[in-house]
Structure 1
Amino acid sequence: MAESPHGEDAALVAVQSALADRPGVLAGARTLSHFGEHSLGWLAVAALGALLAPARRRAWLAAGAGAFLAHAAAVVIKRVVRRERPHHPAIAVNVSTPSRLSFPSAHATSTTAASILLGRATGLPLPAILVPPMALSRLVLGVHYPSDVLTGVAVGAAVAKAVTMVTERGEGV
């Protein structure tokens, strides 16, 4: 018999037990997963914004660059840390992943960077709206530990801050 989960495994089991069986939750989490894969959804949103709002094109392009750089940073960190994804038998893995590496969550990283920078482009409170669902989706899907997601949020925020500093310097602000 498998040992009962504890620590972050127990946290994942608790999240999945509370949410995964609710109508639409797994489908929504999978949709977010596909949207955020390799930050492609955020790159598409940024490109569309740049096309449709030429007066704010630089801000939209910065958001796309930030999402891409955040994803790249997460991939580099994953390859250095080499933490494997959750694999306790009590954790349901509800989506396929491109690698077995878990730390940090590239979805949380790119979503955080994109939402902060898209918030600058639109004036909307996007981090509060976009980050929690993406972060929670990674737990519901069973593909990340809570610390992977929290670290991804922190790395994404740092990347967004760096992109903001570079773009503000370029604007002469």
Structure 2
Amino acid sequence: MTDTLRGEDAALVAVQSTLAGRPGVLPGARALSHFGEHSAGWIAVSILGALLQPKRRQVWLTAGAGAFLAHAAAVVIKRVVKRQRPHHPSIAVNVATPSRLSFPSAHATSTTAAAILLGRASGLPLPWLLVPPMALSRLVLGVHYPTDVLTGVAVGAVVAKTVEAVPDRKETGA
């Protein structure tokens, strides 16, 4: 067996060697990791929005529920796929993780769902502002392969669109 870098391992090392040494990048990536853990940060934001805008409570709480459901979907997929996290000796793991399972990134999944749904609640272009930093942070931290992150974004988008459709059905009586 050889330790030659190939494919996604090489991509992770390239991302880490380009970004991880820059000032503030690792602390920022770790902060995003802690904020997104188990979708807790997104749930907190949605609760705060519901408290600050009681007339729009439902849309804010829907965003929190969507983030949590996206996280749950990622956990179920992880347990089915059972892909192990990156472990090549050239990849620096810069944060602790709750499991050894990697595919898909639950952080990317819940952040994408939260960004879409909170964007709807706030009227801001949150997917463009929130998803890229969270996705990139997972690579900088060395805890996910690029395909874990891309799949997480896709799953999060599907969950958000599904959650968005539920209130629409209630409003139309369908």
**What is the TM-score when the length of structure 1 is the normalising length?**
0.98
Equivalent in the alignment of 1:20:
20
Using the TM superposition, give the Cα deviation of residue 3 of structure 1 relative to its aligned residue in structure 2, in angstroms: 2.1
Distance across 1 between alignment mates of 2:46 and 2:103: 26
**Partners of 1:159 and 1:82 in 2: CA distance:** 21
**Which residue does 1:157 correspond to in 2?**
157
Residue pairs, 1:3-152, within 5 angstroms: 3-152=3-152
Aligned residues: 173
| Aligned residue in 2 for 1:172 | 172
1:109–1:152 Cα contact (<8 Å) kept: yes
- Three-state SS of the structure 2 residue aligned to 1:131 is helix
Q: Could you tell me whether the CA contact under 8 Å between 1:2 and 1:89 is conserved in 2? A: no
Q: Which runs of 5+ in 1 are unaligned?
A: none
Question: Once the two structures are superposed, what CA deviation does each residue of 1:68-88 show, in whole Å capped at 9, x if it has no partner?
Answer: 000000000000000000000
Q: One-letter code of the match for 2:142? A: G
Q: Which runs of 5+ in 2 are unaligned?
A: none
Is the 1:36–1:107 contact (alpha carbons within 8 Å) kept by the matching residues of 2?
yes
How big is the shift at 1:4? 2.3
Q: CA deviation at 1:2?
A: 5.3
Percent identity over the alignment? 79
What is the SS of the residue equivalent to 1:74?
Answer: helix
| Structure 2 counterpart SS, 1:103 | coil
Q: How far did 1:169 drift?
A: 1.2
Q: 1:84-129: CA deviations, max 9, x gaps?
A: 0000000000000000000000000000000000000011000000
Distance 2:171 2:136 in 1: 36
Q: Distance in 2 between matches of 1:143 and 1:3?
A: 18
The answer (yes or no) to whether the contact 1:83–1:101 under 8 Å persists in 2 is yes
SS at match of 2:116: helix
2:12 maps to a residue whose letter is: L
